[in-house]
Amino acid sequence: MKKHIILSSILVSGLLLPDVANAGNPERAGQAGAGVLLINPYARNSGWAGSNSAKVRGLEAQFLNIAGTAFTRKTEVLFNRTVWLQGTQIYLNTIGITQGIGETGTLGVGLVALNAGRIDITTEDQPEGGLGTFNPTFYNLSFSYAKMFSDNIFGGINVKLISEQIANVSARGVAFDAGIQYHTGKYDQIHIGIALKNWGPKMRYQGDGLAKQAAVRYQSGYDLTVLSRSNAFELPALVNIGTAYDFYLTRDSTGLKKTHRVTLAANYTSNSFTYDNYLVGLEYGWKEILMVRGGLQMEKNIFTVDRATVYTGPTLGATVELPFSESKSTVGFDYSYRFTNPFGGTHTFGLRLNL
By three-state DSSP, how is residue 125 classified? coil
Kindly provide the b/e burial profile for residues 7-18, where b requires at least 16 CB atoms within 10 angstroms of the residue's own CB.
eebeeeeeebee
Report whether 53 contacts 69 (CB < 8 A): no
Domains of the chain plus CATH, in order, are 2-354 (2.40.160.40)
Q: What is the pLDDT at residue 128?
A: 84
Counting residues of the chain whose pLDDT is more than 90, the rounded percentage is 66
Q: How does residue 218 score in pLDDT terms, banded at 50, 70 and 90? A: low
pTM: 0.87
Distance (Å, rounded) from C-alpha 168 to C-alpha 64? Answer: 33
Taking only Cα atoms into account, the Rg of the chain, rounded to an integer number of angstroms, comes to 23
Q: What is the pLDDT at residue 30?
A: 72
Distance (Å, rounded) from C-alpha 196 to C-alpha 213? Answer: 44
By three-state DSSP, how is residue 111 classified? strand
Beta carbons within 10 angstroms of residue 209's beta carbon: 16
Q: How does residue 215 score in pLDDT terms, banded at 50, 70 and 90? A: low
DSSP 8-state secondary structure symbol assigned to residue 202: -
Q: What is the pLDDT at residue 21?
A: 41
* pLDDT tens for each residue of 130-145: 888 888 899 999 999 9
CA angle (202, 205, 208) in 5-degree steps = 155
* Residue 167 reports pLDDT greater than 70: yes
Report whether 40 contacts 61 (CB < 8 A): no
